[in-house]
């Protein structure tokens, strides 16, 4: 790593410290909050840079002893110390590179999960409910809050579609690798001959967009109100409370009927609509930047088959990183870290290669 660039990082950080002690900035709460957050984010990498610079000085001192001293015992001590120092230096450099990677601006955002049944009919709908339970359990076990936004239930208790929100500490950073097609192989409850069926479900993970990020003009919305329907299509409310909201410029449509209040359904529909429009904008931008290449991890491509769940063999495979585990039951019971952590590591590896070569 170039020492001059690292020293520039320290100079910038010292300037930031001065700003935080400036009375004018302290009075301006917005500015002070902004600089405080930046200070907290940059402090760990600066601490490691200072350690690395100290190691560089020790390397110079020990190298000087090896080159110029006639004391064999002293030279042996310097040589042994150099081995330890160089090992520590390598670890620190790798750590600093990871810390200096640009952060995904969406990582801190709350999210919407959209899970939809694909091929496989009722079996696919039942697997949607299995995935919903898996994600909900993992989220709640890790201190996140979940909120159902909308769902269409089937007669056997599955879901043709379910949309739910997750709030907490950087949920997008955790769950963004889940977007894609999830394939399930198992014997359906309705199968009398014991044959294994293959079904598919699509998952979309969308960062929630606040008003400051993406304001939608009311004149661009078409809103239809109708009676909510339950499993089998029967009306479940006497009063029309279900909302279909269409964003005319983009053609994006959202339906919400979970709440018994028309006002609450409108509010939920608008939140999901903003997230879908933002997601579409991000996808369009990524497509323009890399027409000929797709990142293997975290591309969010819904058409990409990312995972297979094989119940007879208790096997789960993530095709993006060639990971196969015979711990499917654990994963379905909420131990998603078995998949998320290897995906995060591979994602960091890919980004390091892009930035540092």
What pLDDT sits at residue 5? 85
| Model confidence pLDDT, tens digit, residues 215-225 | 678 888 999 99
Round to whole Å and give the CA distance between 14 and 7.
Answer: 11
Give the dihedral sign, CA 345/351/352/357.
Answer: positive
Q: SS3 for 296?
A: coil
Round to whole Å and give the CA distance between 233 and 229.
Answer: 5
Give the pLDDT band (50/70/90) at residue 53: very high
Average pLDDT over residues 142-152: 94
> What integer best gives the mean pLDDT of the chain?
88
What pLDDT sits at residue 216? 79
HSE on the CB side for 10, CA within 13 Å? Answer: 12
What pLDDT sits at residue 354? 85
Domains of the chain: which residue ranges? 3-99, 111-289+299-350
Average pLDDT over residues 87-106: 91
CB atoms within 10 A of CB 52: 18
Same fold, 3-99 and 111-289+299-350: no
What pLDDT sits at residue 230? 60
Which stretch of 176-185, 203-212, 317-326 has the lowest confidence by average pLDDT? Answer: 203-212
| Model confidence pLDDT, tens digit, residues 321-354 | 999 999 999 999 999 999 999 999 999 999 998 8
Fold that domain 3-99 belongs to in CATH: Methane Monooxygenase Hydroxylase; Chain G, domain 1 (1.20.58)
End-to-end, the C-alpha distance of the chain in Å comes to: 12
Running DSSP on this structure, what letter comes out for residue 235?
Answer: B
Q: Which CATH architecture has domain 111-289+299-350?
A: 2-Layer Sandwich (3.30)
pTM of the model: 0.80
């Amino acid at each position: 790593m170039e020492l001059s660039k690292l020293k520039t990082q320290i100079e910038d950080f010292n300037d930031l410290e001065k700003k935080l002690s400036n009375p004018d900035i302290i009075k301006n709460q917005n500015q002070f909050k902004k600089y405080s957050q930046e200070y907290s984010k940059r402090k760990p990498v600066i601490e490691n840079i200072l350690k690395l610079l100290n190691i560089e000085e020790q390397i110079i001192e020990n190298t000087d002893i090896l080159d110029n001293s006639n004391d064999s015992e002293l030279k042996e001590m310097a040589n042994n110390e150099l081995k330890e120092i160089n090992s520590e230096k390598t670890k620190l450099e790798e750590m600093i590179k990871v810390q200096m990677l640009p952060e995904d601006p969406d990582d801190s955002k709350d999210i919407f999960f959209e899970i939809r049944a694909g091929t496989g009919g009722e079996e696919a709908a039942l697997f949607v409910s299995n995935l919903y339970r898996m994600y909900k359990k993992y989220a709640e076990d890790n201190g996140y809050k979940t909120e159902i936004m909308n769902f269409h239930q089937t007669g056997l208790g599955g879901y043709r579609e379910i949309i739910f929100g997750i709030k907490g500490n950087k949920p997008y950073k955790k769950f963004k690798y889940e977007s894609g097609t999830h394939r399930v192989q198992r014997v359906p409850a309705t199968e009398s001959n014991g044959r294994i069926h293959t079904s598919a479900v699509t998952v979309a993970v969308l960062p929630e967009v606040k008003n400051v990020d993406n304001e939608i003009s009311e004149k661009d919305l078409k809103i239809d109100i109708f009676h909510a329907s339950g499993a089998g299509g029967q009306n479940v409310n006497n009063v029309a409370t279900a909302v279909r909201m269409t964003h005319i410029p983009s053609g994006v449509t959202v339906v919400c009927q979970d709440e018994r209040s028309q006002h609450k359904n409108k509010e939920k529909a608008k939140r999901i609509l903003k997230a879908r429009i933002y997601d579409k904008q991000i996808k369009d931008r990524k497509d323009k930047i890399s027409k000929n290449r797709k990142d293997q991890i975290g591309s969010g491509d819904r058409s990409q088959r990312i995972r297979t769940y094989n119940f007879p063999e208790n096997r789960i495979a993530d095709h993006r990183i060639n990971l196969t585990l015979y711990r499917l039951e654990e994963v379905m019971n909420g131990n998603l870290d078995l998949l998320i952590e290897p995906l995060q590591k591979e994602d960091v590896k890919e980004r390091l290669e892009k930035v540092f070569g």
